[in-house]
Structure 1
Amino acid sequence: MSSELAENNMELDTPLKKRLYQLMTDDEKLLPFSFANRIGISKSTFHSIWTKGSTSIHKSTAKKIADATGVNVDWLHKGIGEPYSDGTQQAQHIEVDKAVERIQETVNAGTIDMTMMVEALTIVENYLIEHDKRMHADKKAELVVSIYDLLCKSPDSGSSIISMLKLAI
């Protein structure tokens, strides 16, 4: 969906659509269907919500979106309560900030082998695609770093990596 269509579509605002909009990144607000890809719902389901102005969604769809974004399922599904549990959002931001600091320290120290990092990321992405699976972003990042560490220690650790992927996903 182009950004022009996204802007024109805002006239079909519903409370559900407004809640979803709060969960989107800035890029997803311009290209809303990328949100569906990130959270793992079908484009047809998202199309019904976003362009046809659906006012409700199945509880299972709400659960999938809530799991991917960290929001309370009741808030997303029915608008009941607050988007995040007490402290959940703040705790997530603190953890992300700490992770970013650790990564920045490692990058500044020049200790990341970018070739290995790209390989680790590619392994995880390909596995997810091949098995039609999705992961929450923070768990996916942890898995990529674990595979990166394993690759750095033993580049021929294919069976260990496959075992790690099966356990993590």
Structure 2
Amino acid sequence: MIDNEDIKIVPYSDFNCVNCSQFKEFNCEQELTPIQSRLYYLMIFSQQPRGESESLYGWTARLGLSKSTTYGLFTKRNQNMHLSVAQNIAKATGANALWIQKGVGEPFDSIENQEKTNIKEKLPVSEEQNEMPEMNTDLLTQAFQTLDNALEQTKKVMPPAGRSRFITAVYDSLRTNDGIDLELLKDSIYTLEEALKLKRQVMSPISKTRLILAIYELYSGNVLYKEAIQHTINQLIGSAYEGNR
């Protein structure tokens, strides 16, 4: 990692992103979004500095960000950030969550605190930090059952997009801080529900939960290849359905 003891801490207002040209993906010809600029600042001045040869996805993974979130911020150039994402980054870097999310205030409470943060001995990244967050399968199954029971009692049908939003909201309201990326979870649920709708198939909540885990892991593995992954997902759905007949 970068030795921050040899780096003079500078206020964000004086930070020049050109200093980040050492990072492979950095494109000096493309103007950074405000969020990207703040994150590049934290790559150098934070509790979790980025190594000179460390990949962008490697660094953001250490902050608790999923690959889909990283892709959205750096490739799709998203202009907004969920508060939960900012809070994860703040917890890892020691920066202020509101500044990370919206650029309000200062990166750190004070330059002195920031300097103390950066001269701390950086411990090696443990294998546990790179492990995927554990999804609460019982809670997810309960969310599916709750929706299915409500729709059955009211004799109504909900489209895949609505189902994915509702189930994700139920899961989020009842979970503890398990580190699951809610946007990625919603995408995974939508993928499954849409495939079941197109094939006119029905699946039990438990089986759905098992497949959601598989889909979530596939999407987490590399969100850049969603189209290629889709074929594998269809096979998973077909296999699970055959087993539930």
Q: TM-score, normalised by structure 1?
A: 0.51
More helix per residue: 1 or 2? 1
Determine whether 1:31 maps to 2:50.
Answer: no
Determine whether 1:13 maps to 2:32.
Answer: yes
| Residues 75 and 81, structure 1, Cα contact 8 Å, conserved in 2 | yes
| Residues 48 and 54, structure 1, Cα contact 8 Å, conserved in 2 | yes
Deviation at 1:15, TM superposition (A): 0.5
More divergent stretch after superposition (49-58 vs 23-32): 23-32
Distance 1:14 1:127 in 2: 28
Determine whether 1:90 maps to 2:90.
Answer: no
CA distance 1:30–1:10, change in 2 (3 Å): farther
CA distance 1:74–1:131, change in 2 (3 Å): closer
Deviation at 1:88, TM superposition (A): 2.0
Determine whether 1:77 maps to 2:101.
Answer: yes
Distance 1:35 1:127 in 2: 11
Determine whether 1:129 maps to 2:131.
Answer: yes
Distance 2:34 2:129 in 1: 36
The secondary structure found in structure 1 opposite 2:26 is: helix
Q: State which structure, 1 or 2, has the greater radius of gyration over its C-alpha atoms.
A: 2
Query: What CA RMSD, in Å, does the superposition of the two structures yield over aligned residues?
Result: 3.4
CA distance 1:43–1:127, change in 2 (3 Å): closer
Distance 2:105 2:96 in 1: 8
Distance 1:130 1:15 in 2: 28
Distance 1:27 1:40 in 2: 16
**Corresponding residue for 1:60?**
84
Aligned residues: 108
Residue deviations 1:61-110 (CA, integer Å, cap 9, x gap): 0000010000011111110111011232123245x1xx58xxxxxxxxxx
Distance 2:52 2:96 in 1: 20
CA distance 1:131–1:49, change in 2 (3 Å): closer
CA distance 1:39–1:51, change in 2 (3 Å): same
Percent sequence identity is 33
In the alignment, which of 58, 62, 69 is matched to residue 45 of structure 1? 69
| Residues 12 and 53, structure 1, Cα contact 8 Å, conserved in 2 | no
CA distance 1:23–1:11, change in 2 (3 Å): same
| Residues 50 and 59, structure 2, Cα contact 8 Å, conserved in 1 | no
**Corresponding residue for 1:157?**
none
Unaligned runs of 5+ in 2: 1-22, 44-48, 135-177, 180-245
